[in-house]
Amino acid sequence: MELRVEVDTKSGFCYGVVRAIKEAEVFLDGNEKLYSLGSIVHNNTELSRLRKRGMEVVTHKDIEQLKNSVIFIRAHGEPPSSYEIAARNNLKLIDCTCPVVLKLQERIKDSYTKLRRVNGQLLIFGKQGHAEVNGLVGQVEGDAIIIENIQDLIKVDFTRPISIFSQTTKDPQEYKEICDMIREKVVMAGGLLDNFKSHNTICGQVSSRHPHLKEFSKKHSVILFVTGKESSNGKILYECCKTANPRSYSIESTDEIHREWFMDGDSVGVCGATSTPMWLLEDVAHFLTDKL
């Protein structure tokens, strides 16, 4: 079967993940073991590679028992409680919180301080239980309303001041729709629009991928989107591809590729999430050209 294959050069790890993995590898070059608080990326293939090098994923419950060890803080960030446990248990930290997430944490703390003075509400547009969202909510001791979709707006009092921030990896269009709906509900409730503040906190690297992937998907017959099944960002970006090209398939590795997806002469685009390594995208491309 003859296929023309293109790897999307703008896919692959975002800056925060690249930085985190590089720091982990530097440490593992000279040490046998590194405990990562949560998975460094939501990609099982990359996690397997790092596990072989000595990275062990641990939970928040685990670090309460660990002492005198080295703990890796991934790009997603952590709530203050994790740092308190680390200090109490003499755990040395390699803190690779993404600078974009770190700045967002600070902005949320600052906004919360102001909101408390006026009986306001802090909203976070994100996935309940997501590592980054847990870190953001932890900055305000849990006093925030998590909005996953428009239905969650039932939790909000639109007569009171509102400030909303977004998880850095969310869909910009969906965030805009949420903010537009809040404005409508504020007006309907007789509130003041001046009391509603929306903050553009989606990572620029992430938001720029949406229009790019739409164009990339349209120019190929078939799209293979490579992502870990647990990746929130992967689910969002895959839907972006699927909308633009119905012949889009989400895979985690070459084992999930089916020959019947393709026809002779197809142009195949290979792309992925911000948690997908470029080497894996290239492996998929080589599989298509050499083994299919």
Give the residue numbers marked as catalytic: 132
Kindly list the distances between the CA atom of residue 268 and the CA atoms of 88, 118, 261, 282, 289, in Å, as whole numbers in the listed order.
Answer: 52, 54, 10, 13, 10
Q: What angle, 0 to 180 degrees and rounded to 10, lies between the N-to-C axes of helices 15-30 and 99-117?
A: 120
Token pair 């910009």: residue: 172
Using an 8 Å Cβ cutoff, are 72 and 49 in contact? no
Strand partners, 70: 92
Which tokens sit at 116?
């408390």
Kindly list the distances between the CA atom of residue 48 and the CA atoms of 28, 33, 39, 42, in Å, as whole numbers in the listed order.
Answer: 14, 14, 11, 11
Strand partners, 86: none
